[in-house]
């Protein structure tokens, strides 16, 4: 009887010891926290995506860049560099975001000077309004396609060459490399409407033409160019100096061509009562 009682007690304590050892780790066992106690690793938020071009795509003239962005004031900045990192063009566009904090599509179409080498990089980013830091930068390596080109000039005002912009009709040329075309005068006007790039602006160039102005048509007849624009050309345009500057930019850009001696500017077909001081 005594032996039976001792056997029962021994069995009880043995089972209890095994139960304890299965729950508590030994001193040499690594204690892994449960998923609930593990610190969450922060994921970097993506605010810019580029769908075109893709890495090592061949790009022509103009350079086309498409994507989505969710950035401050929907302003998307971009650069194109050639093989040695030299800047070819830098400018910005606007993402069509439906509301603040939402993604919007953007599309860039830009001309650029002849690159050195056959490869380069496209950079898309936005500037921090706090300290100017370049944020969410996407860098896409590209290959430059062989294209037939021609050069035209566009004419802008320049604050460095004409401090104070005292000479309202004084405009200065900038070169544009464009695909070879039979409509070279029309192409030059479209480049004028695109305005100065950021690097040109840093060198003092500016335009008096409203951003977003569109060319409706251009006809050349017996030495006279008839350039018709949409209503944006005349929106909130006041003062004789600005009107003179707008006319000078358009006229000089067209008169670089030997076949054009005179220029008639119109807005939606009207030429008599437009661009009044």
pLDDT number for residue 54: 98
* HEC string for the chain: CHHHHHHHHHHHHHHHHHHHHHHCCCCCCCCCCCCCCCCCCCCCCCCEEEEECCCCEEECCCEEEEEEECCHHHEEEEEEEECCCCEEEEEEEECECCCCCCCEEEEEEECCCCCCCCEEEEEEEEECCCCCCEEEEEEEEEEECCCCEEEEEEEEEECCCCHHHCCCCCCEEEEEEEECCCCHHHHHHHHHHHCCCHHHHHCCEECCCCCCCCEEEEEEECCEEEEEECHHHHCCCCCHHHHHHHHHHHHHHHHCCCCCCEEEEEECCECCCCCCC
Residue 21 sits at φ, ψ, to 5 deg, of -70, -20
pLDDT number for residue 10: 44
Residue whose token pair is 């209503």:
231
Residue 110 has pLDDT above 50, yes or no: yes
pLDDT number for residue 43: 54
Residue 48 has pLDDT above 90, yes or no: yes
C-alpha dihedral sign at 261, 267, 273, 277: negative
Strands of 75-82's sheet in order across:
57-59, 134-144, 119-127, 75-82, 87-94
Q: Which of 35-44, 112-121, 161-170 has the lowest mean pLDDT?
A: 35-44
pLDDT number for residue 141: 98
Residue 269 has pLDDT above 60, yes or no: yes
pLDDT number for residue 11: 45
In angstroms, the CA 218 to CA 187 distance is 10
Residue 22 has pLDDT above 90, yes or no: no
Reported as a pLDDT band with limits 50, 70 and 90, residue 38 is very low
Residue 184 has pLDDT above 80, yes or no: yes
Residue 19 has pLDDT above 70, yes or no: no
In angstroms, the CA 128 to CA 161 distance is 31
pLDDT number for residue 166: 83
Q: Which of 38-42, 43-47, 162-166, 200-204 has the lowest mean pLDDT?
A: 38-42
Residue 7 has pLDDT above 60, yes or no: no
Residue 172 has pLDDT above 60, yes or no: yes
Reported as a pLDDT band with limits 50, 70 and 90, residue 44 is low
CB 150 within 8 A of CB 178: yes
pLDDT number for residue 8: 39
Taking residues 42-70, what's their average pLDDT?
92
pLDDT number for residue 238: 80
> How much is the mean pLDDT over the chain?
87
C-alpha distance from residue 37 to each of 32, 43, 183 (Å): 10, 18, 68
Domains recognised in the chain with CATH numbers = 48-144 (2.60.40.2550), 149-267 (no CATH)
Taking residues 20-46, what's their average pLDDT?
47
Taking residues 13-37, what's their average pLDDT?
43
In angstroms, the CA 122 to CA 56 distance is 10
| Residues constituting the chain | 277
pLDDT number for residue 27: 41
Taking residues 217-231, what's their average pLDDT?
98
Nearest to 186, CA basis, from 156, 217, 212, 231: 217
């Amino acid at each position: 009887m005594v032996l039976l009682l001792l056997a029962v007690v021994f069995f009880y304590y043995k089972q209890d010891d095994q139960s304890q050892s299965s729950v508590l780790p030994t001193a040499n066992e690594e204690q892994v926290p449960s998923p609930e106690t593990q610190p969450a690793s922060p994921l970097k938020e993506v605010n810019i995506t580029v769908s075109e071009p893709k890495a090592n795509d061949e790009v022509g003239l103009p350079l086309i860049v498409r994507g989505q962005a969710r950035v401050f004031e929907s302003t998307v900045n971009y650069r194109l560099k050639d093989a040695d990192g030299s800047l070819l063009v830098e400018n910005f566009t606007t993402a069509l975001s439906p509301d603040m904090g939402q993604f919007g599509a953007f599309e860039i179409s830009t001309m650029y000077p002849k690159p050195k080498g056959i490869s380069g990089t496209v950079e898309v980013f936005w500037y921090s309004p706090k300290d100017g830091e370049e944020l969410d930068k996407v860098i896409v390596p590209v290959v430059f396609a062989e294209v037939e080109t021609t050069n035209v000039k566009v004419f802008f005002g320049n604050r460095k060459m004409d401090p104070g912009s005292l000479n309202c009709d004084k405009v200065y040329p900038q070169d544009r490399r464009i695909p070879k075309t039979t409509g070279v005068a029309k192409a030059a006007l479209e480049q004028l409407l695109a305005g100065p790039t950021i690097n040109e602006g840093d060198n003092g160039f500016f335009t008096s033409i409203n951003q977003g102005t569109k060319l409706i048509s251009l006809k050349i007849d017996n030495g006279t160019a008839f350039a018709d624009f949409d209503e944006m050309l005349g929106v909130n345009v006041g003062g004789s100096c600005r009107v003179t500057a707008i006319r000078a930019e358009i006229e000089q850009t067209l008169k670089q061509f030997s076949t054009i001696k005179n220029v008639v500017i119109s807005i939606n077909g009207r030429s008599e009562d437009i661009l009044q001081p």
